[in-house]
Amino acid sequence: MIDERDGVLHSWCVQDQWQAPTIVGGRGARFWAADGRAWLDMSSLAECSHLGHQHPRLVEAIRSQAEQLCFVTNAWGAQPRAELASLLLETAGFEGGRVFFTLGGADANEHAVKFARQARGLVKGWVITRDRSYHGASYAGMALSGDSRTQDQVAAEDFRVSHVPAPYTYRCPWETDHPAVCGERAAQAVAERIDSLGSAEVAAVLMEPNAGTNGIVAPDNYWPALRSLTSARQVLLIADEVMSGFGRCGEWFAWQRYGADQAPDLMSLAKGLTGAHLPLGAVVISSPIAHALQSQMLLTGLTYCGHPLACAAGVAAIRSYQQEGLIERSRHLGQQMFAQLIDLQARHRIIGEVRGGHGLFAVLELVSDRLTRAPLSIWPNMHEGLRRLLQRGFDAGVSFAARGNLLILAPPLVIEEHDLGNALDLLDRLLAQLAQELAADADQREIA
Ligand SMILES: Cc1ncc(COP(=O)(O)O)c(C=O)c1O
Tell which one of 44, 213, 302 to mutate to probe ligand 1, the residue whose CB is within 8 A of the most ligand atoms: 213
Q: What distances in angstroms separate CA 442 from CA 103, 350, 390, 433, one per listed residue? A: 48, 14, 21, 14
**Domains in the chain: ranges and CATH:** 4-54+325-447 (3.90.1150.10), 57-323 (3.40.640.10)
CA of 61 to the centre of ligand 1 (A): 25
CA of 270 to the centre of ligand 1 (A): 7
Residue 264: what pLDDT?
A: 98
On whether the pTM is more than 0.95, the answer is yes
Residue 142: what pLDDT?
A: 98
Q: Is the CB of 268 under 6 A from ligand 1?
A: no
Residue 211: what pLDDT?
A: 87
CA-wise closest residue to 149 among 170, 132, 165, 162: 132
Residue 447: what pLDDT?
A: 80
Residue 448: what pLDDT?
A: 75
Q: Is the CB of 270 under 6 A from ligand 1?
A: yes
C-alpha angle 206/180/262, rounded to 5°? 45
Q: Tell me how far apart the alpha carbons of residues 190 and 63 are, in angstroms, rounded to a whole number.
A: 47
**Which is the closest atom of ligand 1 to the Cα of 104?**
10
Q: Which residues of the chain have pLDDT under 70?
A: none
CA of 289 to the centre of ligand 1 (A): 23
**Which is the closest atom of ligand 1 to the Cα of 279?**
10
CA of 136 to the centre of ligand 1 (A): 5
Q: What distances in angstroms separate CA 67 from CA 73, 275, 276, 317, one per listed residue? A: 17, 21, 21, 19
Residue 354: what pLDDT?
A: 98
pLDDT digits (tens, 9 = 90+) for 342-391: 999 999 999 999 999 999 999 999 999 999 999 999 999 999 999 999 99
Residue 117: what pLDDT?
A: 98
Q: Is the CB of 106 under 6 A from ligand 1?
A: yes
Q: What distances in angstroms separate CA 342 from CA 147, 182, 216, 260, 423, one per listed residue? A: 28, 22, 17, 30, 15
**Which is the closest atom of ligand 1 to the Cα of 105?**
7
Q: Is the CB of 242 under 6 A from ligand 1?
A: yes
